[in-house]
Amino acid sequence: MSRFGQGMLAVVAMALLPVCAMAAVRQVEVVRAAPDQLSISWQDANPVDIYQGDRPDFPLAGAEPVVRHSTAGAVAIDHAGTQRRYFVLVDARDHRRLEVAERLVPLAQGSNFRDIGGYVGAGGKHVRWGLIYRSAGQPLLSPADVEYVHALHVAQLVDLRSSEERVIAPTRITGVPYAAVGYSFADLTQGRPMHNGVDVYHAFPALLAPQLRIVFAHLLHEKTPIVYNCSAGQDRTGFVTAMVLTALGVPYETIVADYHLSTTYRRPAFEMAPISPEMAAGNPVAAMFARGQQSPQSRVPQPLKDAAGTPFLKGAFDEIREKWGSVDAYLAQEAGVGPAQIAALRKTYLE
């Protein structure tokens, strides 16, 4: 038989292999089903073994699976306390594996504090879990919440908020290296009443370039886990997350999907303490937030898109394309993240 004929037979044989022989664990999600219980769901034509550990890179050698040869596609695992759990799902037949964790950090009095791990980036690799967190402000965290955050072993907190916001609602995360860049809230609103939308995002690439330099510098020096936040954890934090994920090769569609999770995960009541009339009287920014606290609409997270369905985040990408030509050019010129730094980031934060 000719080599061509042998090759065709090999292709036909591969096509006839049962689906289970080429299966892989996919569509994995970990959610908190109850205060002391996690639910793990997945898809795989083969049975799956599930292991758990208390750090993202826990070794499988010698570890006993908490679930063995499961074909259920979902399982509940008891978990309580202040120690974050990480899971590895292993296809029991071909031994391919996938790491996963709970995306939302379960804080009793926190808002929108979540892990950006697990997304598919450059080369089909996944963003590593447990190293990069995005959040809303943390002025009302309970003592148990603070303990939970400390258990993440955070190496750096970068506050994206304006000088006024940081005074009005200081973080309760203490004992962690802290960085911020001073600017006025007026620089964000450009002197106009605050109405979220695509136009506001056009200001972000220039306004937040200094903060991006700080975030990327810490990532490049592996000062992680890192947390960065603004007040709601959706707009300025959404922009910084978009730049980090873009640098890691995550597609725009995935970035937008993560951006819209803020509508699900925000809890506005815990983003800023009630502002007293005395504080509002002498502080225009405090007065603006006080008016917002009186608005029923501000108590419920609003979708981050206009009436046509365009995500507000697109305004920042449009600004970058207009002023810098591309995100790569923007990151190189404004954040000091060129091709060598991109390669280093992908080597460190993708697996």
The structural domains of the chain, with segments of one domain joined by +, span: 3-101, 114-349
294: its two tokens: 């009186």
pTM for this entry: 0.90
Average pLDDT estimate for 131-153: 97
Give residue 299's pLDDT band: very low, low, confident or very high (50, 70, 90): confident
Quick: pLDDT tens for 230-282.
999 999 999 999 999 999 999 999 999 999 999 999 999 999 989 988 888 88
CATH class of 114-349: alpha beta
Q: 26 — phi, psi (to 5°)?
A: -155, 170
Give residue 133's pLDDT band: very low, low, confident or very high (50, 70, 90): very high
Element (H, E) at 308: none
Query: Is the omega angle on the peptide bond into residue 210 within 30 degrees of 0, that is, cis?
Result: no
Beta bridge partners of 51: 88
Angle among Cα 340, 246, 327 to the nearest 5 degrees reads 75
Beta bridge partners of 100: 87
- Indicate if 114-349 has the same CATH topology as 3-101: no
Contact 49, 71 (CB under 8 A): no
Give residue 295's pLDDT band: very low, low, confident or very high (50, 70, 90): confident
Is domain 3-101 in CATH 2.40.10.220, yes or no? Answer: no
Contact 220, 345 (CB under 8 A): yes
